[in-house]
Amino acid sequence: MKKLITLATLLQLGTASASVVAIMDSGTDINHKDLAPKAWTNKNEVVGSKTDLDGSGLPGDVHGWDFTTNSGNVFDGKYNNLLTPDVLKFYVLYAKYETKTITQAEFEWLKATTQDKVLMNKVNFVGGYAHGTHVGGVAALNNSKAEIMSLKILPTVYQELAPAAPADKANGKEPVQLELDFGDGNVNVAPAMSVEDFKKAIIGEATQQIQKMVPMHGYLKFHKVDVVNQSFGIGFTAAVDFISAAFIEEVKREPTQKELTDLVVAYFGTLLKVGPQMFAAAPDTLFIIAAGNDASNNDQFPDYPSSIQAPNKIVVAATLGYSEIADFSNFGATRVDVAAPGVAIQSTAPANNYVFMSGTSQAAPFVTNAIAQAKDINPALSASDLKSIILKTVDVKAWLKGKVSTSGIVNKARVNRAAELSKTMNVEVAIQKAKAEIADVVVPKTFAKRLPGMDLKFRPLRPSLLVKLPSL
């Protein structure tokens, strides 16, 4: 006998669904009091299970997966103690520096701190360690329906930095590190790799990077994830440094400018050629990607993964509120789509902390958040519909012309209105109506200015997937 489904049951089924938001990052602390109620839970799996119960290929993936340790434990809080008062103070004052509200005394403390290598080692580590939790908080903010899936793809291993000896500190010098050989005097030195073999290794590294990402994206498809935040990447400058250092180690000499250019082109050329495969592995999922923090033009200098061509992705630049593009933000009239606030963003951090961070890493989840809310308003919206709504409802800004393809910054209220209207009308019509109904975000007429001489050599972190090339 068939079970009858009542109208009330159908209505309940239609409203029970919530947007699934995956955070592919350094791990998200889903035990944080703000994130715990929003943690995605796979009811078909059991914590610690050795058996894959739902057929995803990952046993015990109750809240997501740690791809760095191959575990269902999505966040390891072993380094929570590194969120010290001084580390948190650094991020508070850096936020004031970026918003141009810092005092002279505060700036002097901040500048002096950047010279403290031991403390800065902790600051930089925490920037990556807390990154996924911070991003997750931005993506989930003011959205009680969204379900946050944590996918850790970036390793977080802290290496203590020994302080300089007092005498050396006084002289402004660091102690010399000596390598001593207590063997028989015969040191085995690996033979130099040929330039051609090194190039093959570089191409292989790029290919392997994509090959690792494809099954991860397939996992997203399996669980029907609506939107994915990817605030990681490899910028052009980082790739130049990475390839140059690896070349010296493997080829035993410095590369010529021509060799380095050829290698970097081969590396990015491979990423951009093979890269579409990973987005094709989850065609119904929308990927929101940070543009990068190198103040670089992505149209001229490629960036991974933001420069990969795919229909189901949006690349985001960062702004200071709705006033100006962030001085660190990458841009690109054709390779970057929209802008969003990404300066001095306060959000969740491990162990129920909160921290200020800046970067396109923070701008991307602002857009992820808007998409999740739109999806919750109208679950029938496809990835293509959601992308159209985001790109076509922006506040157009003259200062973003030539910086992003839409010349605009995301307007959440307008996005939500378009999503609401789309329940009863064509998406394109809903967009036009929302644009007519919802005004641009109000922007202050005067902006703060940094005091003369305040220049800090510190850039916001965008975690990288760079892996050191193995010796062949």
Identify which of 325, 366, 94, 372 has the alpha carbon closest to the alpha carbon of residue 231.
366
Catalytic, 25? Answer yes
Catalytic, 116? Answer no
Phi-psi label, residue 359: left if phi above 0, alpha if psi -120 to 50, beta otherwise:
left
List, in order, residues 6 or more apart from 110 with CB less than 8 Å away: 90, 93, 94, 97, 102, 456
User: Which residue is catalytic, options 32, 131, 134, 217?
Assistant: 131
In whole angstroms, give the CA distance from residue 84 to residue 81: 7
User: Which residue is catalytic, options 361, 388, 407, 422?
Assistant: 361
Query: Which helix (H) or strand (E) segment is 119 a member of?
Result: helix 117-129
Cβ–Cβ under 8 Å, residues 394 and 411: yes
Query: Which helix (H) or strand (E) segment is 22 a member of?
Result: strand 20-25
- CA of 461: how far to CAs of 124, 285, 393, in Å? 8, 26, 29
Task: Look up residue 400 and give its DSSP letter.
Answer: G
SS3 470: coil
Catalytic, 134? Answer no
Task: Look up residue 344 and give its DSSP letter.
Answer: S
SS3 54: coil
- Bond into 155 cis (ω within 30): no
User: Which residue is catalytic, options 19, 25, 226, 294?
Assistant: 25
In whole angstroms, give the CA distance from residue 344 to residue 354: 12
Instruction: Show which residues are catalytic.
Output: 25, 131, 361
